[in-house]
Structure 1
Amino acid sequence: MLNNYTVIGFTKQPLLTHMIEVVTTTKTTTAYEVLMSTYNVTSNASDVVEEETSVTNAAVIGTFLCLTIFLSLVGNVLVCIAVFTDRRLKRLNNMFIVSLAVADLWVSLMVMTFATVNDVTGKWRFGRVYCNIWISSDIMGSTASILNLCMISLDRYIHIRDPLKYARWMTWKKVAIAIALVWTISIIMSFIPINVGWHKSPGQAEVELPPEQCFLEISGTYAIVSSTISFYIPCIVMIGLYCKLYMYARAQVKSINRTLVHNQFGDSRGSGQSSKLSDHKAAVTLGVIMGVFLFCWLPFFILNLYEAYNKNTPFIVFQILTWLGYFNSCLNPIIYSIFNSEFRSAFKRILFPRSCQLCNQDQRNYRYGSPKKVKNGASSKNNSEYLTVKHENGSKASHDSNHPLVDERITAL
């Protein structure tokens, strides 16, 4: 009995231990599976939320970028149509504005559209060959836009400083040469070095980007040369010209206003107030022009030089500053055209042709061409339409008060 009991007891003990181990193992496995299942559900829910947030952000960003492209296209197309369809705007100096609008249209169509797809989806979907074309188009369009702004500032400086000399000196041939020079420099700085590979350092030239990536890799030498020619030199020229132009305009606008008031009323009453208003308008317009230009492009070109030697800038920062420069193409039609009353009238005529009979009447009554001298015996009304302005060189010139040479000396700034 003792032996049997002992045997049975000894036999049952390992069996009980085994059963406990089995139950314990079963319970442990079940708890682990439940824990992992809960983690997977939580992880999947988190992934869904992150994916929905990513899609929402992409939709918002894509909508904003598409709106920017649309405004840039509409504004610059309106500028081109207005210049070529409005008699008052068919002047030599407006050809530089047309060239600027074409450059901004190029940036909108050939650069911003593909940049939107690339930045929103996070992948380049247009092939390796077009990647180089896209980068070259980006550099060419942006450079042409900046150089055209510089040409406009130079043209307006000469025009306002000595309008009679400008009328004799400036010809269609010279304007065409200046515009061709702008685009030639832009092409030389973009398509040639990008497609030949001059923009890369020897180490970068050996590395090929994956097909789904497309971004500009530049060496320090190319960054310095391209930034200097495309931005820093035009920027210094523009700032210098506009500062001199502003100082000259302050004195010249006062002189024109005094002469205008004197010819119309026989005295100089009210000239001080008119001069202050004109000075304020000139200061505000010049501030907007230079402020927007520097705000849009200066951060990018500073980063461009820094990034050439220090490859540690977050890519999102580079994207934001790049689009800030693109946004200048949207603002250029507003700054250089909407502030001009003649462009405003032309835009109204194009967008609302039925409600702009007054604009058409003004255009038919508009007289343009070099003003003629007033003959003896002319009426006082005709005499009052002409102004005699004394320039710094001591010469005198007669101007029609409705002529753009006089009007733009006050309003074209």
Structure 2
Amino acid sequence: MSTNSTAEPGPTTQYITNGILGILVFSLNALSLISILLSRSFPARQKVLFFSLLLTDTLLGFQILCVRLIPIRYNSEHFLCKSRLYTGIIFTYSTILSNLFITIERLFSISLPVNINRQITWKKMAIVVALIWTIAIILTFSFFATDFEGPVCQFVVVGNLTGYVVLGFSICIVFLIIVVMYAYIAKVTRRHIRQIAATMVGNNPVTNIGIVYQNKADLRTTVTVGIIVGIFGISYCPMGVYLIYSGLYVSDVTAFIATNQTIFTIMLTFYVMNSLINPIVYIFRLKKCRQEMIARILCRPQPDFLNPNHVT
């Protein structure tokens, strides 16, 4: 088998495109990851929550820079090909499970606010994140451990088609579950806002201010999670449908990919855009983390909300 056969674009175009995407994905996610981890204003439980997604996106950018930009041509038998495809599938599974995880956490936070603060600690959530990665690795190697063979190194063209069908169904089913849960979250959040507005009285302004602040914080977090979930659906579901269709209804996947290269490129672009847009959402939505990171970068005094002597 030839070691330089490929169905991918010319090397120059490929290296430039992957270089730009890799730098953007890695730098934006790494900045957001550092911002959240070093933040002293961000709750520990939510640090773990966003860490589960940012870690996947950061590693994806690192993979693009380290594997896809190596100036050699390789086929499916090459170690770099297997590394690229294995990690891509692991990242996909970990991303869809992490999105499910943050939605479940938001569901519990809205429905059982007292119990979740007392019983669900950041350490327990860190264990869940480790479990998510373990499941992603097990699922990947269960379907693809011995079946990466083919004349080219390209997603779907090589590997176990059954595994890609399972992955496609996993993406679509998990997203539907998330949508149902988020619809309930939005409903409960709206009900809480109405109840708080109905019980607000002027007898205890300090308590009222605290309730309003917590209500706004919950609403903002709910909206942020909704944006993340929406981006996940737009980015991953087209690829999920594509995997299901190509695995179930296409007899010659290699020829199908070759004749539908533009469609495949669009699907893959949407897939990568999820990791590119997520950190932008964090930067704009997580105001305190953004302000704290800017203060660190510019060596400015800490904002008032980080000053322990500041009285609100």
TM-score bracket for this pair, using the shorter chain length: 0.7 to 0.9
Residue in 1 that maps onto 2:162 = 221
Does 2:286 match 1:344?
no
For 2:307 and 2:62, the matched residues in 1 are separated by 35
Give distance in 2, aligned partners of 1:58 and 1:291. Answer: 34
Match 2:63 to one of 110, 113, 121: 110
User: For residues 128 and 219 of structure 2, what CA distance do their matches in structure 1 show?
Assistant: 32
Question: Are residues 193 and 279 of structure 1, via their aligned partners in 2, closer, same or farther at CA, if it must alter by over 3 Å?
Answer: closer
> Which whole-Å CA distance do the structure 1 matches of 2:33 and 2:47 have between them?
10
Give 2:184's match in structure 1, choosing from 244, 250, 255.
244
Judge conservation of contact 1:246–1:282 (CA < 8 Å) in 2. no
Q: Where do 1:4-15 residues align within 5 Å? A: none
Q: 1:99 aligns with which of 52, 67, 78?
A: 52
- The aligned counterpart of 1:34 is none
Residues in 2 aligned to 1:224 and 1:234: alpha-carbon distance in whole angstroms: 14
Which of the residues 107, 112, 132 maps onto 1:162? Answer: 112
SS at match of 1:353: coil
**2-structure distance, mates of 1:278, 1:164:** 15
Structure 1 equivalent of residue 128 of structure 2: 178
Q: Does 1:138 align with 2:91?
A: no
C-alpha distance in structure 2 between counterparts of 1:280 and 1:95, whole Å: 19
Greater Rg over alpha carbons, structure: 1
Q: Structure 1 residues 90-99 or 308-317, which shifts more?
A: 308-317
Who is 1:68 aligned against?
21
CA RMSD of aligned residues (A): 3.6
User: What's 2:174 paired with?
Assistant: 234
Tell me how far apart the structure 1 counterparts of residues 54 and 122 of structure 2 sit (CA, whole Å). 18
- SS of 2:44's partner is coil
Q: TM-score, normalized by length of structure 1?
A: 0.60
Unaligned runs of 5+ in 1: 1-53, 269-274, 368-381, 383-401, 403-413
Question: How far does residue 226 in structure 1 lie from its aligned partner after superposition?
Answer: 2.4
TM-score, length-normalised on structure 2?
A: 0.77
Q: Secondary structure at the match of 2:145?
A: helix
The verdict on how the C-alpha distance between 1:156 and 1:278 changes in structure 2, with shifts beyond 3 A counting, is closer
| Contact 2:169 2:240 (C-alpha < 8 Å) held by counterparts | no
CA distance in 1, matches of 2:165, 2:226: 28
Aligned-partner SS, 2:196:
helix
Aligned runs of 1:14-413 on 2, under 5 Å? Answer: 63=16, 65-111=18-64, 114-115=67-68, 123-124=73-74, 128-197=78-147, 208-209=150-151, 213-216=153-156, 217-229=158-170, 231-259=171-199, 262-263=202-203, 285=224, 288-308=227-247, 309-310=249-250, 311=253, 312-313=256-257, 314-354=260-300, 357-359=301-303, 361-365=304-308
Contact 2:172 2:241 in 1 (8 A): no
